C-alpha cells in the first residue's frame, strides 16, 4: 500500500471539502486504489495551522475551524507555521493549494506552488491564479524537479475537463472551446429567471460556497475569463492573458431583460469562448440570449458545460458541476490519485 502525505494550504471551503472526502472515503481509497492519504499539515492564513508527521485527525481539524474557530485549538502537533514554513518543514509528498484566487498577481498561490515544486513536492491546486498567469512556468518547474503540477479543479471544479482534453482528446486538434464556465453566475441567472432578486441570488451562491472570495470576480466575468485563458493556452496553443479576453459580466442584465428573453423563447447564459483565427485567438466572455432549444440553455444552477470543437470527433461536450465545496474538493482528490498512480 502507498501512503501519500499531503499538506493542505488554504483551509476554506475547498480545502475543507477535500478533507471531508478523504475522511469519508479513506477505507475505499485503501481498498480500491491501495492508497492511504495522510494529512500531515494544514495551514491557513486566517484559521491558523497544525502539522503532525504521524497524521492529523481530520474530524478534529474540521471541528476546530467550525464557526470561525482556529486550528490552534487542535490539541497536539506543531502550530504557528505559515504556508511557506509548512511547505518547507512538513515533509509532505504533495501540497494541495486552495487559497483564494487573485487573477492579477496570482499571489500568494504562485509563491506557494514554486516553493513546493522547488522542494520536490508534487502540487495540486484549484487556485486559478497560478494556472492563468504561470501555467507553463510551473509545469516546467515541476518537470525540472521531477514532480507533477496538476490543476484539474481550475476549470469546472471536479468535472473532468482539462485532464479529459489533454489525455483523452490528445491527437485531436481543438479549434474552439465554448461554454458555461462560472457556477455562481449560472446559478444566479437560473434563480433570477425564477423571480429571485440579484442580491438574494448572489448571497445564496456565496452561502453555497460557489462564489469567489470577492464575488465581483464572478459577476463581472473575470473568473470565466480566467478559465478561457487556461483553456486557450493549454488546448489551443495560445499565449494569452486575462486582458486579451473581451469580457462582459452579468451586472448589466436586468430582471426585465431576462423576462423579455423568456417571452421571446430565449434564455441568457454567460458564455466563455476561445477560437483559433487566421490571426491568432479570439477570446470572449459575454451574456448571450440562447434559444431554449440550445443545449446550453438547459444547463441550470451551478452546473457548467463546455464544448470542445475537434477535427476527429466533431463537437464533444462535458456537462457537470462547476463549483462547490465537495465538487471542487473532488478535483484535488482526482489529482492526488493521478499522482499516486504514476509515482
Ligand atoms: N467562483 C467559481 C464559480 C468557483 O462560481 O464557478 C469555481 O471556479
C-alpha cell at 134: 504561470
Per-residue pLDDT tens over the stretch 157-175: 999 999 999 999 999 999 9
> Number of helices (H) and strands (E), helices first, in the chain?
12, 12
- Tell me whether residue 66 is one of the annotated catalytic residues: no
| pLDDT grade for 293, boundaries at 50, 70 and 90 | very high
In angstroms, what is the span from residue 312 Cα to ligand 1's centroid?
A: 31
Smallest Cα–Cα separation from 56: which of 10, 103, 98, 92? 92
Q: Averaged over 29-33, what is the pLDDT? A: 97
- pLDDT score at 116: 98
| pLDDT grade for 332, boundaries at 50, 70 and 90 | very high
Contact 274, 176 (CB under 8 A): yes
Q: Averaged over 113-120, what is the pLDDT? A: 98
Q: What value does the CA radius of gyration of the chain take, rounded to a whole number of Å?
A: 20
Which atom of ligand 1 lies at the shortest distance from residue 128's CA? 8
> What distance separates the 2 farthest-apart alpha carbons in the chain?
62
d(CA 203, CA 222): 18
- pLDDT score at 273: 98
Which residues, 6+ apart, have CB-to-CB distance to 342 below 8 Å?
148
Smallest Cα–Cα separation from 305: which of 321, 326, 285? 321
Percentage of the residues of the chain whose pLDDT score is greater than 70: 100
d(CA 242, CA 87): 29
- pLDDT score at 76: 97
286 in helix, strand or coil? strand
In angstroms, what is the span from residue 18 Cα to ligand 1's centroid?
A: 16
In angstroms, what is the span from residue 79 Cα to ligand 1's centroid?
A: 31
Per-residue pLDDT tens over the stretch 299-330: 999 999 999 999 999 999 999 999 999 999 99
Backbone angles phi, psi at 267, to 5 degrees: -145, 130
Number of Cβ within a 10 Å radius of residue 207: 9
Which atom of ligand 1 lies at the shortest distance from residue 227's CA? 8
Amino acid at each position: 500500500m502507498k501512503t501519500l502525505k499531503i499538506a493542505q494550504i488554504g483551509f476554506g471551503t475547498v480545502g475543507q471539502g477535500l478533507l471531508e472526502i478523504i475522511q469519508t472515503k479513506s477505507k475505499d481509497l485503501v481498498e480500491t486504489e491501495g492508497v492511504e492519504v495522510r494529512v500531515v499539515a494544514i495551514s491557513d492564513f486566517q484559521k491558523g495551522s497544525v502539522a503532525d508527521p504521524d497524521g492529523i485527525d481530520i474530524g478534529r481539524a474540521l471541528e476546530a475551524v467550525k464557526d470561525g474557530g482556529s486550528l490552534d485549538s487542535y490539541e497536539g502537533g506543531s502550530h504557528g507555521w505559515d504556508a511557506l514554513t509548512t511547505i518547507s518543514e512538513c515533509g509532505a509528498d504533495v501540497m494541495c493549494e486552495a487559497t483564494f484566487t487573485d487573477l492579477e498577481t496570482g499571489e500568494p498561490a504562485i509563491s506557494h506552488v514554486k516553493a513546493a515544486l522547488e522542494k520536490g513536492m508534487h502540487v495540486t491546486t484549484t487556485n486559478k491564479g497560478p494556472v492563468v498567469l504561470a501555467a507553463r512556468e510551473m509545469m516546467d518547474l515541476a518537470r525540472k524537479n521531477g514532480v507533477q503540477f496538476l490543476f484539474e479543479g481550475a476549470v469546472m471544479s471536479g468535472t473532468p475537463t482539462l485532464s479529459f482534453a489533454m489525455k483523452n482528446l490528445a491527437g485531436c486538434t481543438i479549434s474552439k472551446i465554448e461554454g458555461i464556465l462560472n457556477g455562481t453566475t449560472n446559478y444566479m441567472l437560473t434563480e433570477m429567471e425564477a423571480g429571485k432578486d440579484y442580491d438574494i441570488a448572489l448571497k445564496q451562491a456565496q452561502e453555497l460556497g460557489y462564489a469567489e472570495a470577492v464575488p465581483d470576480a464572478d459577476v463581472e466575468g473575470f473568473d470565466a475569463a480566467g478559465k478561457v485563458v487556461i483553456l486557450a493556452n493549454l488546448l489551443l496553443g495560445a499565449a494569452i492573458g486575462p486582458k486579451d479576453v473581451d469580457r462582459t459580466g452579468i451586472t448589466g442584465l436586468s430582471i426585465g431583460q431576462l423576462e423579455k428573453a423568456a417571452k421571446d423563447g430565449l434564455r441568457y447564459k454567460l458564455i466563455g469562448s476561445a477560437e483559433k483565427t487566421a490571426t491568432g485567438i479570439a477570446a470572449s466572455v459575454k451574456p448571450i440570449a440562447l434559444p431554449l432549444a440550445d443545449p446550453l440553455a438547459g444547463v441550470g444552477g451551478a452546473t457548467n458545460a463546455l464544448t470542445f470543437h475537434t477535427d476527429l470527433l466533431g463537437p464533444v461536450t462535458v456537462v457537470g458541476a462547476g463549483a462547490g465545496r465537495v465538487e471542487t474538493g473532488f478535483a484535488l482528490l482526482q489529482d492526488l490519485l493521478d499522482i499516486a498512480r504514476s509515482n
